[in-house]
Every structure is written in structure tokens, then in C-alpha cells.
Amino acid sequence: MKITATQPAGDSLVASIYENPDYLDCFVAAVGPDTFERVDDVATAWFMGQPAWLRLLSTNTLSKGAVEDAIARGYRVGDTVGSWEIITRNDEEIVFGENMGFMQYRMSFRLPSAGDRIEAGTAVRFLWHRTGKFYFALVQPLHPRFVKMVLKNTIARSNTRPPKAPSDTCE
């Protein structure tokens, strides 16, 4: 599976979340057009596809049940999944955010209407420039590896969904 690093599409929410982000990226993975029905499915597969150690780092919880409970409530603006608050969303994209005091971190999942790819985008803004820059300099080399690993898990989880019920009509 090929995952490509790029910049977020100009019309994506994460690309416009900050006027001048200190860091901006996007990782794109091609998927079949019926792999995910909605962007909510992408987000669910992402959070549920994280290994426990990464879930602890990412959501600040070891409890898979706590993540499942948050997901069951839906992805409404203002709700949280672990430490990730839903900042904004539309039918194609959900932006999650975490404020660390010295920097703001935004990540998004996007499923364009064609449904043939998923995008995981990141935007960062340093609030305390030196501290944020130092912290992100430590995290940034690992960031692409983590995103690619979880994108692969996300796609693999989509293949475990039960098949759709057969149609009641003959074709």
C-alpha cells in the first residue's frame, strides 16, 4: 500500500485552520471507492486501529472502551475522543485538536466525495515559539512513521467490516 506525503488540498479544513501554520502536512492513501462510506468511518477505524501504546500517547488513555464510548456518541463539534476535541467538521472532513499550552496541534481525516482516497492532515501552531519548536523538533521525525502506520491499520480495519446486507431487489 502506497502512502504519499503531500500538502493538504487547498479546500480542506485543516489547510485553512491557521492563517500561517508553523507546520502543515498531509498523507494520502488510495482506497477502493466502497472502502469507507463516511469520514466518520475513517476516524473510527483510525482510533480503533491504534496499538495500545500509541493510543496512550495519542488519546491519553489506555482504555479502548473509553475510546469506543466516545466514538459511539458521534463526532460532533466540541465532543472529545480521549484528549482530542472535535474542532470543526463537514461531510468530507473532521478536524481534531489538542492544545498543549505551548502549541496547538490539529489533525484531520478527509474522505473526498469520490471515496477513492483517505487523507490524514496535520497543522501545528507554536504558541510559545521556542518551546513549541523544540518539542516538535523531537516529535516531527517520528510523526510520518506513526501516521503511515496508523493509516495502514485504518485501511486494514475497513476490510474487517461485515459485508452489506444483500439487496431485496433482483438485478
> Which pLDDT tens digit goes with each residue over 46-73?
988 887 877 777 777 777 888 888 899 9
- Three-class SS state of 108: strand
Contacts of 46 (CB under 8 A, 6+ apart): 109, 120, 150, 151, 153, 154
Question: pTM to 2 decimals?
Answer: 0.87
Average of per-residue pLDDT across 59-88: 88
pLDDT at residue 162 tops 90: no
User: Measured between alpha carbons, how far is residue 50 from residues 62, 74, 80, 121, 167 in Å?
Assistant: 11, 18, 17, 17, 33
Least confident of 26-30, 40-44, 80-84: 80-84
pLDDT at residue 160 tops 50: no
Q: What is the DSSP letter of 8?
A: P
pLDDT value for 50: 81
pLDDT value for 159: 58
pLDDT value for 134: 92
Domains belonging to the chain, first-starting first, are 3-158 (3.30.530)
> Which pLDDT tens digit goes with each residue over 123-133?
999 999 899 89
Take residue 52 and report the three cell numbers written for it. 495500545
Least confident of 95-109, 138-152, 153-167: 153-167
